[in-house]
Chains A and B, each alone.
Chain A
Amino acid sequence: EADIYQTPRYLVIGTGKKITLECSQTMGHDKMYWYQQDPGMELHLIHYSYGVNSTEKGDLSSESTVSRIRTEHFPLTLESARPSHTSQYLCASRGGARGYGYTFGSGTRLTVV
Protein backbone atom coordinates (compact mmCIF):
# COMPACT_ATOMS: atom_id res chain seq x y z
CA GLU A 1 0.00 0.00 0.00
CA ALA A 2 1.42 3.36 -1.04
CA ASP A 3 2.36 5.83 1.67
CA ILE A 4 3.05 8.56 -0.84
CA TYR A 5 0.21 9.85 -2.96
CA GLN A 6 0.22 11.73 -6.22
CA THR A 7 -2.78 13.36 -7.82
CA PRO A 8 -4.00 13.46 -10.45
CA ARG A 9 -2.92 10.15 -11.92
CA TYR A 10 -3.50 11.40 -15.47
CA LEU A 11 -3.96 14.97 -16.71
CA VAL A 12 -4.62 16.35 -20.17
CA ILE A 13 -4.54 20.12 -20.32
CA GLY A 14 -4.32 22.90 -22.87
CA THR A 15 -1.29 25.04 -23.60
CA GLY A 16 -0.94 28.07 -21.36
CA LYS A 17 -2.86 26.67 -18.41
CA LYS A 18 -1.49 26.75 -14.89
CA ILE A 19 -1.30 23.36 -13.22
CA THR A 20 -0.29 21.96 -9.87
CA LEU A 21 0.72 18.36 -9.39
CA GLU A 22 0.11 17.19 -5.85
CA CYS A 23 2.38 14.95 -3.78
CA SER A 24 1.71 14.00 -0.18
CA GLN A 25 3.31 11.47 2.12
CA THR A 26 2.18 10.14 5.48
CA MET A 27 5.53 8.83 6.67
CA GLY A 28 6.93 12.06 8.13
CA HIS A 29 9.88 11.95 5.74
CA ASP A 30 12.05 15.05 5.62
CA LYS A 31 13.45 14.60 2.14
CA MET A 32 11.27 14.73 -0.93
CA TYR A 33 12.05 14.65 -4.65
CA TRP A 34 10.44 15.29 -8.03
CA TYR A 35 11.61 13.34 -11.09
CA GLN A 36 10.65 13.80 -14.70
CA GLN A 37 10.59 10.55 -16.64
CA ASP A 38 11.02 10.84 -20.38
CA PRO A 39 9.49 8.50 -23.00
CA GLY A 40 12.66 6.38 -22.90
CA MET A 41 11.93 5.97 -19.17
CA GLU A 42 15.11 7.69 -18.00
CA LEU A 43 14.70 9.56 -14.70
CA HIS A 44 15.73 13.20 -14.34
CA LEU A 45 15.77 14.94 -10.96
CA ILE A 46 14.10 18.35 -11.28
CA HIS A 47 13.51 19.45 -7.67
CA TYR A 48 14.19 18.29 -4.14
CA SER A 49 13.64 19.39 -0.58
CA TYR A 50 15.43 18.58 2.68
CA GLY A 51 12.56 19.81 4.85
CA VAL A 52 10.05 22.58 5.44
CA ASN A 53 10.95 25.82 3.63
CA SER A 54 13.84 24.07 1.85
CA THR A 55 13.76 23.61 -1.93
CA GLU A 56 16.54 23.06 -4.44
CA LYS A 57 16.74 22.69 -8.19
CA GLY A 58 17.79 19.30 -9.47
CA ASP A 59 20.08 18.13 -12.22
CA LEU A 60 17.66 18.86 -15.08
CA SER A 61 16.58 22.44 -15.65
CA SER A 62 12.82 22.76 -15.35
CA GLU A 63 10.35 25.60 -15.75
CA SER A 64 8.34 24.20 -12.87
CA THR A 65 8.47 25.42 -9.28
CA VAL A 66 7.91 23.67 -5.96
CA SER A 67 7.08 24.60 -2.40
CA ARG A 68 7.40 22.87 0.96
CA ILE A 69 5.25 24.56 3.54
CA ARG A 70 4.36 21.34 5.37
CA THR A 71 6.48 18.25 5.85
CA GLU A 72 3.95 15.99 4.21
CA HIS A 73 3.19 18.09 1.14
CA PHE A 74 5.46 18.88 -1.86
CA PRO A 75 3.45 20.24 -4.80
CA LEU A 76 4.89 21.04 -8.22
CA THR A 77 3.52 23.94 -10.26
CA LEU A 78 3.73 24.87 -13.92
CA GLU A 79 2.64 28.47 -14.42
CA SER A 80 2.06 28.07 -18.16
CA ALA A 81 1.98 24.55 -19.54
CA ARG A 82 3.53 23.80 -22.93
CA PRO A 83 3.61 20.64 -25.06
CA SER A 84 7.29 20.22 -24.12
CA HIS A 85 6.12 19.63 -20.54
CA THR A 86 4.36 16.44 -21.58
CA SER A 87 5.93 13.72 -19.46
CA GLN A 88 5.49 11.50 -16.45
CA TYR A 89 6.29 13.14 -13.12
CA LEU A 90 7.31 10.97 -10.16
CA CYS A 91 7.41 12.11 -6.55
CA ALA A 92 9.56 10.32 -3.97
CA SER A 93 10.51 10.68 -0.34
CA ARG A 94 13.15 9.42 2.06
CA GLY A 95 13.30 9.36 5.81
CA GLY A 96 16.05 8.19 8.07
CA ALA A 97 19.16 6.47 6.80
CA ARG A 98 20.16 6.57 3.15
CA GLY A 99 20.37 2.84 3.10
CA TYR A 100 16.59 2.60 2.88
CA GLY A 101 16.40 4.39 -0.47
CA TYR A 102 13.32 6.18 -1.71
CA THR A 103 9.61 5.51 -1.56
CA PHE A 104 7.90 6.50 -4.80
CA GLY A 105 4.41 7.67 -5.62
CA SER A 106 2.43 6.25 -8.53
CA GLY A 107 3.24 9.21 -10.76
CA THR A 108 1.28 11.77 -12.76
CA ARG A 109 1.19 11.39 -16.51
CA LEU A 110 0.82 14.89 -17.94
CA THR A 111 -0.16 15.63 -21.52
CA VAL A 112 -0.23 19.21 -22.75
CA VAL A 113 -2.11 19.73 -26.00
Chain B
Amino acid sequence: AQTVTQSQPEMSVQEAETVTLSCTYDTSENNYYLFWYKQPPSRQMILVIRQEAYKQQNATENRFSVNFQKAAKSFSLKISDSQLGDTAMYFCALYAGTASKLTFGTGTRLQVTL
Protein backbone atom coordinates (compact mmCIF):
# COMPACT_ATOMS: atom_id res chain seq x y z
CA ALA B 1 0.00 0.00 0.00
CA GLN B 2 1.09 3.56 -0.67
CA THR B 3 0.78 6.50 1.68
CA VAL B 4 1.38 10.22 1.27
CA THR B 5 1.72 12.52 4.26
CA GLN B 6 1.54 16.31 4.29
CA SER B 7 2.23 17.47 7.81
CA GLN B 8 1.53 21.18 7.28
CA PRO B 9 -2.23 21.84 7.12
CA GLU B 10 -1.73 25.58 6.59
CA MET B 11 1.10 27.88 5.67
CA SER B 12 1.47 31.56 5.02
CA VAL B 13 4.11 33.47 3.06
CA GLN B 14 4.58 37.08 2.08
CA GLU B 15 4.55 38.09 -1.54
CA ALA B 16 7.96 37.74 -3.23
CA GLU B 17 9.25 35.42 -0.50
CA THR B 18 10.09 31.73 -0.80
CA VAL B 19 8.11 28.95 0.83
CA THR B 20 8.61 25.19 1.04
CA LEU B 21 5.78 22.70 1.40
CA SER B 22 6.63 19.29 2.84
CA CYS B 23 5.57 15.86 1.66
CA THR B 24 6.70 12.41 2.67
CA TYR B 25 5.57 9.18 1.11
CA ASP B 26 5.90 5.46 1.55
CA THR B 27 5.98 2.75 -1.08
CA SER B 28 7.79 -0.52 -1.56
CA GLU B 29 7.87 -0.03 -5.32
CA ASN B 30 10.99 1.02 -7.21
CA ASN B 31 9.07 2.51 -10.12
CA TYR B 32 6.90 5.47 -9.15
CA TYR B 33 5.97 9.04 -9.95
CA LEU B 34 5.37 11.98 -7.66
CA PHE B 35 3.23 15.04 -8.32
CA TRP B 36 2.26 18.35 -6.83
CA TYR B 37 -1.22 19.64 -7.66
CA LYS B 38 -2.59 23.13 -7.00
CA GLN B 39 -6.27 23.85 -6.31
CA PRO B 40 -7.04 27.60 -6.18
CA PRO B 41 -10.21 28.65 -4.35
CA SER B 42 -13.28 27.58 -6.37
CA ARG B 43 -11.13 26.71 -9.36
CA GLN B 44 -9.86 23.66 -11.19
CA MET B 45 -7.10 21.48 -9.78
CA ILE B 46 -4.02 21.70 -11.98
CA LEU B 47 -0.71 19.89 -12.14
CA VAL B 48 2.20 22.00 -10.92
CA ILE B 49 5.15 19.68 -11.25
CA ARG B 50 6.01 15.99 -11.62
CA GLN B 51 9.02 13.85 -10.72
CA GLU B 52 10.00 10.41 -11.94
CA ALA B 53 11.59 8.32 -9.22
CA TYR B 54 14.41 7.02 -11.38
CA LYS B 55 15.54 10.55 -12.24
CA GLN B 56 17.91 11.95 -9.65
CA GLN B 57 17.68 15.50 -10.95
CA ASN B 58 15.07 17.59 -9.20
CA ALA B 59 12.23 18.80 -11.42
CA THR B 60 11.80 22.53 -12.00
CA GLU B 61 8.96 24.51 -13.59
CA ASN B 62 9.60 28.25 -13.58
CA ARG B 63 9.19 29.40 -9.95
CA PHE B 64 8.33 25.91 -8.73
CA SER B 65 10.95 23.31 -7.89
CA VAL B 66 11.12 20.14 -5.86
CA ASN B 67 13.61 18.66 -3.48
CA PHE B 68 13.37 14.92 -4.09
CA GLN B 69 15.17 12.88 -1.46
CA LYS B 70 14.57 9.29 -2.51
CA ALA B 71 16.27 7.59 0.43
CA ALA B 72 14.33 9.70 2.91
CA LYS B 73 11.12 9.36 0.84
CA SER B 74 10.67 13.08 0.88
CA PHE B 75 9.28 15.28 -1.91
CA SER B 76 9.04 18.94 -0.94
CA LEU B 77 7.83 21.79 -3.15
CA LYS B 78 9.62 25.13 -3.18
CA ILE B 79 7.82 28.19 -4.49
CA SER B 80 10.13 31.11 -5.19
CA ASP B 81 9.04 34.74 -5.56
CA SER B 82 5.56 33.90 -4.24
CA GLN B 83 2.66 35.66 -5.91
CA LEU B 84 -0.89 36.31 -4.75
CA GLY B 85 -2.08 33.86 -7.40
CA ASP B 86 -0.21 31.08 -5.66
CA THR B 87 -2.81 31.12 -2.89
CA ALA B 88 -4.35 27.64 -3.08
CA MET B 89 -4.54 24.17 -1.63
CA TYR B 90 -1.53 22.11 -2.64
CA PHE B 91 -1.73 18.34 -2.83
CA CYS B 92 1.16 15.92 -3.04
CA ALA B 93 0.36 12.68 -4.91
CA LEU B 94 2.00 9.36 -5.75
CA TYR B 95 1.65 6.77 -8.50
CA ALA B 96 3.50 3.57 -7.56
CA GLY B 97 4.06 0.22 -9.15
CA THR B 98 1.16 -1.10 -11.17
CA ALA B 99 -1.46 1.00 -9.41
CA SER B 100 -3.61 3.02 -11.77
CA LYS B 101 -4.85 5.35 -9.04
CA LEU B 102 -3.11 8.31 -7.56
CA THR B 103 -2.66 8.39 -3.79
CA PHE B 104 -3.13 11.93 -2.49
CA GLY B 105 -1.97 13.61 0.67
CA THR B 106 -4.37 15.62 2.81
CA GLY B 107 -3.23 18.93 1.36
CA THR B 108 -1.57 22.14 2.55
CA ARG B 109 -3.47 25.39 2.40
CA LEU B 110 -1.08 28.16 1.32
CA GLN B 111 -1.95 31.81 1.80
CA VAL B 112 0.19 34.45 0.10
CA THR B 113 -0.10 37.84 1.77
CA LEU B 114 0.94 41.37 0.83
Question: Interface on A for B, CB 8 Å cutoff?
Answer: 2, 31, 33, 40-43, 45, 48, 50, 58, 90, 92, 94, 98-107
A58 to B52 alpha-carbon distance, docked (Å): 25
Output the nearest chain B residue to A30 by Cβ-Cβ distance: B100
Q: List 18 A-B contacts (CB under 8 A).
A: A2-B44, A31-B100, A41-B89, A41-B106, A45-B101, A48-B101, A50-B100, A90-B45, A98-B33, A98-B95, A98-B100, A99-B33, A99-B50, A99-B95, A100-B50, A101-B37, A102-B102, A107-B45
Across the interface, do B44 and A42 meet the contact criterion of CB distance under 8 Å? Answer: no
Across the interface, do A106 and B100 meet the contact criterion of CB distance under 8 Å? Answer: no
B35 on the A face (CB < 8 A): yes
A56 to B98 alpha-carbon distance, docked (Å): 16
B46 on the A face (CB < 8 A): yes
Report the contact-size class of chain B (Cβ under 8 Å from the partner): 20 to 34
Across the interface, do B33 and A101 meet the contact criterion of CB distance under 8 Å? Answer: yes
When A41-B39, A41-B107 are in contact, do A33 and B44 touch as well, CB less than 8 Å?
no
B25 on the A face (CB < 8 A): no
Q: Secondary structure at chain A's binding surface: helix, strand, loop or mixed?
A: mixed
Complex contacts, A94 vs chain B, CB 8 Å: 100
Complex contacts, B43 vs chain A, CB 8 Å: 106
Output the nearest chain A residue to B39 by Cβ-Cβ distance: A41
A50-B100, A98-B100, A99-B33 known, 8 other contacts, Cβ within 8 Å: A41-B106, A58-B101, A94-B100, A99-B52, A99-B95, A101-B95, A102-B102, A106-B43
Contact with A along B77-114 (1 / 0, CB 8 A): 00000000000010101010000111010110100000
